[in-house]
A = this chain, B = another copy of it.
Amino acid sequence: MIVTDLEEVPWKKILPGFRSKFVHSENMTVSYCTIKAGATLPEHAHPHEQITNMLEGEFEMVIDGETRTLKANTVTVIPSNAKHSGRALTDCKIIDVFYPVREDYRD
């Protein structure tokens, strides 16, 4: 059994204002992400399907040209290869999950 204590996982700075702790399984990656208010996510896309679980805060997300404000207690599906960008309206805590594994975020 692989139990990971997040206290022992180092933060990775993935973008200015964004930091994450990553846990990988055979097929999925989980990202525990904190974002500072005002930080911006440049438009990008990836073949990985993504599910964004908002735990705290508000994040303005644009997916394939559609803009929504994601609030705590919302779950957002970002399809494979969908262009997405965004901006943290407040400090945020998010759990993102990806399929398949984000090899680019492995150690």
Number of interface residues of A (CB under 8 A): 33
Residues A95 and B63 in contact, CB atoms below 8 Å apart: no
Residue contact B1 to A26, C-beta cutoff 8 Å: no
Distance (whole angstroms) from the CB of A60 to the closest CB of chain B: 12
Q: A66-B1, A76-B2 are in contact. Are A53 and B28 (CB under 8 A)?
A: no
Contact string against B for A residues 26-54, beta-carbon threshold 8 Å, 1 for contact and 0 otherwise: 11101000000000000000000101010
Question: Who on chain B is nearest to A25 by CB?
Answer: B77
Residue of B nearest to A61 (CB): B1
> Do A28 and B26 have beta carbons less than 8 Å apart?
no
Main SS of the interface on chain A? strand
Measured CB to CB, the nearest residue on chain B to A79 is B26
* Shortest distance between the CB of A18 and any CB in chain B (Å): 19
Name the distance in Å between A46's Cβ and chain B's nearest Cβ.
14
Contact between chains at A64 and B28 (CB < 8 Å): no
- A78 and B77 CA atoms in complex are apart in Å by 23
A88 interface residue (CB < 8 Å to B): no
